């Protein structure tokens, strides 16, 4: 078995809600609420869920772009933080480690500085980490751009001169500049047109092979996740409801939420008529999640105990973890 | 055969911009039959939204102009009538659902106010009757506690609920044509499924002719009866929905289908269309898709192919299928 590159244990990230006359804390938005998982070296780990379920927060908290509320993260056997035991990696070590973890953002229009030219954007990390001087860094940036399907003379241009797909390529080139081991891809293709989506996905796949990268791939699009990822975690209101290999998840989804999510995705085939599970209502607010199982307000198979008892996230078969009371019923 | 409600012939819409004239819609023709759903697919900038705005005569002025063509609604050319007459049709006989339910509703009016406005204007319903009809409409689109929601403001509702309100508003005057411009793009999958299901039901119940504009081929496969594929302001393929997916002809449509991961067999690699949509200021001389096409021939760079019918109901604009090509 491959080595775990990332180990996440009981990660929590709460955002405080301020209110009242003196802006005191009146509650928490539980964006990420107690999740644990590993990502193996060379794996593409998919994170899927609806908007507001905490996918992006998870991605950002793991690489400590956001300050975690609780839990621990290990990267390459080095502890980045362990809040319970009050361990945090020293600042300078963390900065050095940042070379190994990069992120590609969702919105290619917002994630590139409009006042920097492309060469500077791509080479900034190289200069910052003192890997190369400015001149060498620009040469390296040219190489990276060509690798990502853009021509080298683009280094002097500015982001506004590019289309969405090209900008995303620049974002990818920037992420690759420091030869990272791990890249968080936060909905990298959601803002792009269908034909451009396929181009960017293909590029990311090639780069993964070439540089032996590990991806955490965040998306709300199940068909993209299915095509791209090795293992998938389905998130709902800050918690994992199901985690397993791609194959298993699509062949035999066990959690009712996964089942309805799969059935809700429109299939590009007009000849298939299928039974749809239509969920009632909307996702509850993460500031005030339902008691018991968080999904019980919309679950088509809700039972009495779901309303009070939080189901355990446990392995029902090797490599297939689900949090649902129905699993206990089946076992009995 | 079903009655044709809307017929568009050779529609051309262009915009004056500082960088020059942009032909957003360049000679588009199609028709929508009663009770049918016509899907219009294409990538951003291909002119699908401008087509729908042209039908409503809502092309932004003063830069946008409908330069040529006919829009025949029940035999009447909408481009030749007065604005006052158009106002009686708009929202009454032809209604529209917009993409962004967050921005399409006015934040300072209650839901009841906004739905009631068109009821008062077109059907003369006022006072209690107006409110009653609003509640009834909210019930049709399955909004919980409609009698309360009618007095609420848009910010109190979620995205899916707002889109339902938009649908209720569009249906308020029993329109003959419903134009839905990316109605589910801003919504989550589970909410999208709810809204699509609702639209399907309403379409079956009320028999409204629907123009569904989207970039999502999955939505098209589930909803549409007939499909138009647009590229760079022109129709490149037109066929019944099954033909579009099963006997695809145009290389662009084929490329679009191939770039969707959910159509792949196991272990099949994703293929993609090279390059990108040509700039509207600098359209290729021949076929607009030629620079990206895998099956490009010499003639493609020279002349734009015509939209020809190769099978009953299946039209393609490509030299591969036209005499004089190949």
Please give the average per-residue pLDDT across B186-211, as a whole number.
86
Please give the average per-residue pLDDT across A191-213, as a whole number.
89
Which residues in chain A have their CB less than 8 angstroms from residue B263's CB? 268-269
Q: Which residues of B154-183 are buried (b: 16+ CB within 10 A; e: fewer)?
A: beebbbbbbbbbbbbbbbbbebbbbbbbbb
CB atoms A270 and B245 under 8 Å: yes
Cβ distance B234 to B28 under 8 Å? yes
Would you place residue B144 in the very low, low, confident or very high pLDDT band (cuts 50, 70, 90)?
A: confident
Which residues in chain B have their CB less than 8 angstroms from residue A195's CB? 43, 255-256, 259, 272-273, 276
ipTM above 0.85, yes or no: no
CB atoms B219 and A282 under 8 Å: no
Q: How many angstroms away from the CA of A68 is the closest CA of chain B?
A: 27
What percent of chain B has pLDDT above 90? Answer: 40
Which residues in chain B have their CB less than 8 angstroms from residue A196's CB? 43, 276
Distance CA B251, CA B207 (A): 34
Instruction: Say yes or no to pLDDT of A94 above 60.
Output: yes
User: What are the tens digits of pLDDT across the range A245-268?
Assistant: 999 999 999 999 999 988 888 877
Q: How many angstroms away from the CA of B188 is the closest CA of chain A?
A: 6
Instruction: Say yes or no to pLDDT of B141 above 90.
Output: no
Cβ distance A237 to A283 under 8 Å? yes
Q: Name the residue of chain A whose CA is nearest to B267's CA.
A: A227
The pLDDT value recorded for residue B266 is 66
Q: How many angstroms away from the CA of A92 is the closest CA of chain B?
A: 41
Which residues in chain B have their CB less than 8 angstroms from residue A228's CB? 261
CB atoms A261 and B190 under 8 Å: yes
Interface mutation vs chain A, best among B272, B275, B291, most A CBs within 10 Å: B272
Domain edges within chain B: 250-326
Greater confidence, A23 or A60?
A: A60
Would you place residue A332 in the very low, low, confident or very high pLDDT band (cuts 50, 70, 90)?
A: very low
CB atoms B43 and A194 under 8 Å: yes
Q: What is the CATH number of domain A4-115+158-331?
A: 3.40.50.300
CB atoms B219 and A223 under 8 Å: no
Would you place residue B211 in the very low, low, confident or very high pLDDT band (cuts 50, 70, 90)?
A: very high
The pLDDT value recorded for residue B201 is 85
Residue A18's alpha-carbon distances to A28, A67, B220, B274, in angstroms, are 9, 18, 44, 49
CB atoms B193 and A264 under 8 Å: yes
Please give the average per-residue pLDDT across A68-91, as a whole number.
91
Distance CA A198, CA A64 (A): 30
Question: Exposed, middle or buried by CB within 10 Å (0-12, 13-18, 19+), for A303?
Answer: middle
Distance CA B165, CA B146 (A): 10
User: What are the tens digits of pLDDT across the range B223-256?
Assistant: 999 999 999 999 999 999 999 998 999 999 998 8
Domain edges within chain A: 4-115+158-331
Q: How many CB pairs under 8 A join A and B?
A: 120
- pTM greater than the 0.90 cutoff: no
Which residues in chain A have their CB less than 8 angstroms from residue B224's CB? 270
B261: nearest CB among A163, A226, A261: A226
CB atoms B190 and A260 under 8 Å: yes
Cβ distance B116 to B134 under 8 Å? yes
Distance CA B117, CA B120 (A): 5
Which residues in chain A have their CB less than 8 angstroms from residue B37's CB? none
Q: Name the residue of chain B whose CA is nearest to A278's CA.
A: B194
Instruction: Say yes or no to pLDDT of A331 above 90.
Output: no
**Could you give the strand order of the β-sheet that contains A101-104, starting from the edge strand earlier in sequence?**
A101-104, A182-186, A214-219, A44-48, A231-236, A239-245, A320-322, A314-317
CB atoms A195 and B256 under 8 Å: yes
Greater confidence, A269 or B42?
A: B42
Which residues in chain A have their CB less than 8 angstroms from residue B272's CB? 195, 198-199, 201-202
Which residues in chain B have their CB less than 8 angstroms from residue A166's CB? 276
A194: nearest CB among B215, B222, B224: B215
Q: Name the residue of chain B whose CA is nearest to A52's CA.
A: B188
Q: What is the mean pLDDT of chain A?
A: 89
Please give the average per-residue pLDDT across A156-178, as a whole number.
91
Which residues in chain B have their CB less than 8 angstroms from residue A160's CB? none
Q: Could you give the 3-state DSSP secondary structure of residue B8? A: strand
B261: nearest CB among A220, A223, A276: A223
H or E element in which residue A131 lies:
none
What percent of chain B has pLDDT above 70? Answer: 97
- Both structure tokens of B57: 């005569």
Q: How many angstroms away from the CA of A229 is the closest CA of chain B?
A: 12
Cβ distance B96 to B53 under 8 Å? no
Please give the average per-residue pLDDT across A267-273, as a whole number.
75
B221: nearest CB among A198, A228, A270: A270
Please give the average per-residue pLDDT across A317-321, as a whole number.
90
């Amino acid at each position: 078995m491959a080595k775990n590159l990332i180990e996440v244990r009981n990660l929590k990230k709460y955002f405080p809600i301020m209110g009242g006359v003196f802006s005191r804390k009146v509650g928490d938005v539980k964006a990420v609420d107690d999740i644990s998982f590993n990502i193996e070296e060379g794996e593409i780990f998919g994170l899927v869920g609806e908007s507001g379920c905490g996918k992006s927060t998870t991605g950002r908290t793991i690489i400590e772009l956001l300050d975690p509320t609780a839990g621990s993260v290990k990267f390459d056997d080095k502890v980045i933080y362990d809040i319970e035991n009050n361990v945090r990696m020293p600042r300078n070590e963390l900065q050095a480690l940042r070379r190994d973890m990069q992120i590609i953002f969702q919105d290619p229009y917002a994630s590139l500085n409009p006042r920097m030219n492309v060469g500077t954007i791509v080479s900034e990390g190289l200069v910052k980490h003192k890997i190369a001087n400015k001149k060498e860094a620009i040469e390296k940036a040219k190489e990276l751009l060509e690798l990502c399907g853009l021509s080298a003379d683009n280094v002097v241009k500015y982001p506004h001169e590019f289309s969405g797909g090209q900008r995303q390529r620049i974002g990818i080139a920037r992420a690759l500049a420091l030869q990272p081991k791990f890249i968080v891809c936060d909905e990298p293709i959601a803002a792009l047109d269908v034909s451009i989506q396929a181009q960017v996905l293909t590029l990311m796949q090639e780069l993964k092979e070439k540089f032996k990268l590990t991806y955490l791939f965040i998306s709300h699009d199940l068909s993209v996740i299915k095509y791209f990822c090795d293992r998938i975690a389905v998130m709902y209101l800050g918690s994992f409801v199901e985690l397993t290999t791609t194959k298993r998840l699509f062949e035999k989804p066990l959690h009712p939420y996964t089942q309805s999510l799969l059935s809700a995705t429109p299939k590009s085939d007009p000849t298939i008529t299928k039974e749809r599970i239509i969920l009632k209502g909307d996702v509850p607010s993460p500031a005030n999640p339902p008691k018991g199982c968080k999904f019980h307000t919309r679950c088509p198979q809700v039972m009495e105990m779901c309303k009070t008892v939080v189901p355990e996230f446990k392995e029902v078969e090797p490599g297939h973890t689900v949090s649902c009371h129905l699993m206990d019923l089946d076992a009995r | 055969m079903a009655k044709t409600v809307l017929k568009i012939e050779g529609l051309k819409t262009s915009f004056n911009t500082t960088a020059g004239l942009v032909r957003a819609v360049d000679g588009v023709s199609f028709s929508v039959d009663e009770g049918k759903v016509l899907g219009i697919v294409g990538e951003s900038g291909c002119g699908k939204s401008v087509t729908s705005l042209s039908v409503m005569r809502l092309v932004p002025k003063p830069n946008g102009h409908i330069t040529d063509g006919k829009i025949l609604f029940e035999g009447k050319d909408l481009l030749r009538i007065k604005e006052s007459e158009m106002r009686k049709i708009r929202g009454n006989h032809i209604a529209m659902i917009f993409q962004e339910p967050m921005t399409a509703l006015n934040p300072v009016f209650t839901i009841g106010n906004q739905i009631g406005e068109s009821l008062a204007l077109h059907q003369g319903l006022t006072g209690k009757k107006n409110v009653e009809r609003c509640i009834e409409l909210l019930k049709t689109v399955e909004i919980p506690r409609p009698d309360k929601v009618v007095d609420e403001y848009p910010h109190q509702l979620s995205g899916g609920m707002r889109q339902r309100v938009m649908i209720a508003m569009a249906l308020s005057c029993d329109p003959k044509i419903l134009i839905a411009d990316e109605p589910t793009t801003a919504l989550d999958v589970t909410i999208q499924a709810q809204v699509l299901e609702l639209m399907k039901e309403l379409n079956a119940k009320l028999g409204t002719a629907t123009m569904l504009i989207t970039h999502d081929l999955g939505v098209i496969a589930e909803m549409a009866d007939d499909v138009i594929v647009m590229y760079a302001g022109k129709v490149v393929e037109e066929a019944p929905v099954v033909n579009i997916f099963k006997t695809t002809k145009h290389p662009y449509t084929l490329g679009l289908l191939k770039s969707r991961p959910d159509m792949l067999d196991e272990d099949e690699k994703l293929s993609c269309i090279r390059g990108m949509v040509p700039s509207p200021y600098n359209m290729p001389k021949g076929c607009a898709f030629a620079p990206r096409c895998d099956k490009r021939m010499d003639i493609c760079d020279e002349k734009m192919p015509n939209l020809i019918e190769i099978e009953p109901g299946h039209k393609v604009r490509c030299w591969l299928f036209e005499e004089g090509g190949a």
